[in-house]
Structure 1
Amino acid sequence: MGVRLVVGASLLALVAGAVAVPAFAAPALPAANMEAVIKAAQIDPRRPDTTPTTGAKASVLLVEQALDAKNLLAPTYVDGHFGTKTIDAYAAWQRSLGYTGLDASGLPGRTSLQTLGEGRFTVTHLLTPGAHVTYHGATMNTRTKAMLVEAETLLGRQLGITQGSYNPGGDPSSAGTHDGGGALDISVSGMSEATQTTVVRRLRQVGFAAWRRTPSQGDWGFHIHAIAISDTDQSPAAQHQAGDYYLGLNGLANHGPDDGPQVTKVTWEEYQRA
């Protein structure tokens, strides 16, 4: 009789919820690192091969798998290399969302990337260029301004801007580089060549792809050209220059070797975390 009571009490306790029953938990979605994706989208199309960008393959694969699922990218290109086919597929995705012009260049933006990942992946290490502002009389975004201010702080001097960002139809020798965000031309008036090199070094240290330009290189005067790496408002020409910088090139049409001071290549976000 006593045994029956004990068993009965145990059953009652279970029914009453006294014995916990593990709740079903949906598996967590994988995470795509936006910083890694943007870096790959700048570098990979400029590579002579299909080597994935270091640290970006897993995140790029998530993006490519999602594009494949939407019939925008052939399965053969789902390889972790954000090459020209992936750029084209992502541009098609952006157009499907209603984006046009530079907003549909194939370089992922925060909103389009998060929308692509719905139900498939989350997005970490978010990037945003910020609002358009005027600094030193030139238009740029808040991310580029913050980078420039930090470079000026390291230099202990302010820099003159001869051409800012978001300047479509500007200097024709720029070949569209300044149409979007993250692009600056800096005056070297009154600077020695050694000082110009120091300016380029400081710009590179905070996350710009920067070079000293001379008249012998093109139809322009002496100046410093700088591209804010991983600016998601970049024009395609600026994207190509950022990729070339990572690959040790000069960012010019001749694909010559980088002629600037050598530093550890970082983005603005990596510089801030260092």
Structure 2
Amino acid sequence: MPSRRHLLHNAIAATVGLAVGGQALPGPGSAVLPQADMEALIKAAQIDPRRADTAITAGSKDSVLLVERALRDRGLLAATYVDGHFGTSTVAAYAAYQRSLGYSGLDATGLPGQTSLRLLGEQRFTVTRAVTPGSAVAFRGAQVNIRTRAMLLEAERLLGRQLTISQGSYSTSDPTSAGTHDGGGVLDLSVDGMSSTLRTTVVRQLRQVGFAAWLRTPSQGNWPYHVHAVALGDTDQSAPAQHQAGDYYLGLNGLANRGADDGPAVTPKLTWEEYQRTL
């Protein structure tokens, strides 16, 4: 049982904002900063620019408004676009903010990264549910990031078989990929020798762990049968890959024709982080 002296010390510390037990206590008049949910922000930044309207992605409005207000106050976003919809204007404003930090390439696509988001939120908001793709690593003859590797390994565990990577991430060698493989979170997987049923099962399991995945066929483009997979919520994606992720959420096929999704239905559509919380 704490002593009377200890209780008195805690009461005084709480009043003046001292630390108790290693934890800083708020002093009088101090404000608790609002929280920006990074997972929700990334989801909105992938989906909202692909919408035909200005609908708001469920669960993202408060976090998006925090970001939009910060961008507005930096003179990067017009007030009319501070509406909770992470559309093309907000993406462009965030990309401009990233460039102002000295970022370029994949670090300045308008998709919030953990470091830029925390800098934007200084003295305005804190970041929760931070997402990071991890560093790029060599894996089975291809390059992927750590998050994508973990996702693929989990899908393989569910399948009970190992898959063959025909094209990895951070790859610009294939002109038919339209830039989707330029960044992180994207894989092409071989389906050679698989039955139609097994191909569908592979796509379903990839979707289960957080990929937007489709079976691509020769009738769709200049490529052989393969599975194309885009890791939802990957902050290292190229802009074309971001668009494919958004289209998947909206029930589309991720191709230029923006046709209906032709893959197996998986509900709800989870990111890797959301999937992990179900285990």
Fold conserved (TM > 0.5)? yes
Q: Quick one: which of 41, 54, 57 aligns to 1:53?
A: 57
Alignment match, 1:231: 234
Aligned length: 256
Partner of 2:270: 266
Distance 2:242 2:67 in 1: 19
Where do 5+ consecutive residues of structure 1 fail to align? 1-16
CA distance in 2, matches of 1:106, 1:181: 15
| 2:145 matches 1:130 | no
Q: Secondary structure at the match of 1:201?
A: helix
Q: Distance in 2 between matches of 1:136 and 1:228?
A: 18
Identity of aligned residues (%): 69
Give the unaligned 5+ runs of structure 2: 1-8, 17-27
2:39 counterpart residue number: 35
What are the residue-to-residue correspondences of 1:1-274 with 2, within 5 Å? Answer: 22-23=15-16, 24-168=28-172, 170-264=173-267, 265-274=269-278
Residues 147-170 of structure 1 show CA distances to partners (whole Å, capped at 9, x for unaligned) of 0000000000000000000012x1
| Deviation of the 1:246 alpha carbon | 0.2
SS of 2:246's equivalent? helix
Report the Cα distance in structure 1 between the residues aligned to 2:46 and 2:125, rounded to whole angstroms.
Answer: 21
The root-mean-square deviation of aligned C-alpha atoms, in Å, is 1.3
Counterpart code for 1:193: S
Give the whole-Å Cα distance in 2 for the aligned partners of 1:102 and 1:132: 13
Please state how far the C-alpha of 1:136 moved relative to its aligned partner: 1.7
SS of 2:138's partner is strand
Shift of 1:193: 1.0
Please report how far the alpha carbon of residue 187 of structure 1 lies from its aligned counterpart in structure 2 after TM superposition: 0.2
Question: 1:22 offset after TM fit, Å?
Answer: 4.0
Q: Which residue of 1 aligns with 2:21?
A: none
Q: CA deviation at 1:25?
A: 4.0
What TM-score, normalized by structure 2, do the two folds share? Answer: 0.90
Q: 1:101 Cα deviation (Å)?
A: 1.1
> Which whole-Å CA distance do the structure 1 matches of 2:15 and 2:144 have between them?
53
Distance in 1 (alpha carbons) for counterparts of 2:198 and 2:127: 41
**In 2, Cα distance between equivalents of 1:25 and 1:156:** 57
CA shift digits 1:15-68 (9 cap, x unpaired)? xx9x96944141100000000000000000000000010000000000000000
Query: How many angstroms apart in 2 are the aligned matches of 1:204 and 1:22?
Result: 51
SS of the equivalent of 1:98 reads coil
What is the rounded CA distance, in whole Å, between the counterparts of 1:193 and 1:234 in structure 2?
Answer: 29
- Point out 4+ residue stretches in structure 1 off by more than 3 angstroms: 19-23
Return the offset for 1:226: 0.1
Q: Hey, what's the Cα distance between the residues in 1 that align with 2:270 and 2:74?
A: 33
For 1:42 and 1:111, the matched residues in 2 are separated by 18
